[in-house]
């Protein structure tokens, strides 16, 4: 079988021309379109990845802020609970102190009432005793008893110790008011004069003395001057 090289050559040329034509007018546009599509898809994928990354970033930021707000909320709740507990304890302490203060005031009032009652009972008892004593003295009293009381008092004044006399002398000298002589009964003028004369012996002259009847004094005579007393 003979090979027609001219035909083979022509077919080869036709094939090459066909390949060139296909590549020029068919494959190249198709490959270009495919390349553009791939680039577009790649760009879309890149944009999608970027959007995904941005969404993830926003999601992370959201959770971060949410956690931060939750932390602040918990801190505020804890602070509010601490302040409420502190206020509760303060109110309890104030209530306890007020209760203690009220209890102390009540106890103090009770003690004062008891003391006042005791003083009143003592005062009434003393008044009753004095009344009984005065009644007994009134039944026994007479000129002799009064004279004896004055004699005993004058004897007491004349027999004072040195320190007692010095104390009374200083009291008389420093007194701005008259000395006071208190007795259960009203002393006659001559008895008063006897007492004034006895006291005046200390100063070699008259002294200022005021006489007073004291029903609450059971018996005897008392001399008081500038806070000092002799009975």
Whole-model pTM: value is: 0.40
Domain assignment of residue 202, given as a range: 141-230
SS3 185: coil
Contacts for 169 with CB less than 8 Å, ≥ 6 apart: 202, 203
Determine the pLDDT at residue 2: 63
| Same domain, yes or no: 146 and 99 | no
Tell me the pLDDT tens digit for each residue of 138-164: 555 555 667 788 888 888 888 888 888
| Same domain, yes or no: 75 and 148 | no
In a domain, residue 189? The reply is: yes
In a domain, residue 118? The reply is: no
Q: What is the pLDDT along the chain (231 residues), one digit of tens a residue?
A: 566 667 767 777 777 777 777 777 776 777 777 778 777 877 877 777 787 778 778 787 877 887 777 788 888 777 877 877 788 888 778 877 887 787 888 878 778 777 777 777 777 776 666 666 656 655 555 556 677 888 888 888 888 888 888 888 888 777 778 888 888 778 888 888 888 888 888 776 677 888 888 766 655 788 888 777 787
Task: Find, among 189, 182, 162, the residue nearest to 230 by Cα.
Answer: 182
In a domain, residue 116? The reply is: no
In a domain, residue 181? The reply is: yes
| Same domain, yes or no: 84 and 147 | no
| Same domain, yes or no: 92 and 164 | no
| Same domain, yes or no: 169 and 222 | yes
| Same domain, yes or no: 13 and 100 | yes
Query: Contact, 222 vs 150, CB < 8 A?
Result: no
In a domain, residue 36? The reply is: yes
In a domain, residue 71? The reply is: yes
Paired tokens of 225: 């001057």
| Same domain, yes or no: 84 and 155 | no
Question: How many domains are contained in the chain?
Answer: 2
| Same domain, yes or no: 90 and 162 | no
Tell me the pLDDT tens digit for each residue of 35-56: 787 778 778 777 777 877 787 7
In a domain, residue 37? The reply is: yes
In a domain, residue 120? The reply is: no
């Amino acid at each position: 079988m003979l090979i027609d090289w001219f035909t083979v050559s022509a077919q080869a040329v036709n094939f090459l021309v066909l390949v060139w034509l296909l590549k020029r007018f068919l494959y190249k546009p198709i490959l270009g379109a495919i390349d553009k599509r791939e680039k577009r898809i790649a760009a879309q994928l890149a944009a999608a990845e970027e959007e995904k990354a941005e969404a993830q970033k926003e999601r992370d930021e959201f959770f971060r802020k949410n956690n931060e707000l939750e932390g602040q909320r918990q801190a505020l709740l804890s602070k509010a609970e601490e302040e409420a507990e502190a206020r509760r304890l303060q109110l309890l302490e104030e209530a306890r102190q007020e209760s203690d203060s009220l209890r102390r005031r009540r106890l103090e009032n009770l003690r004062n009432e008891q003391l006042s009652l005791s003083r009143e009972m003592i005062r009434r008892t003393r008044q009753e005793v004095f009344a009984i004593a005065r009644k007994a003295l009134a039944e026994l009293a007479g000129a002799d008893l009064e004279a004896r009381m004055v004699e005993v008092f004058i004897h007491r004044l004349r027999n004072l110790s040195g320190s007692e006399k010095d104390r009374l002398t200083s009291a008389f000298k420093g007194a701005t008011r008259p000395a006071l002589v208190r007795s259960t009964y009203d002393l006659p003028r001559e008895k008063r004069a006897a007492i004034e004369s006895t006291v005046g012996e200390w100063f070699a002259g008259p002294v200022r003395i005021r006489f007073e009847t004291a029903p609450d004094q059971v018996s005897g005579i008392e001399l008081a001057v500038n806070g000092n007393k002799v009975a």
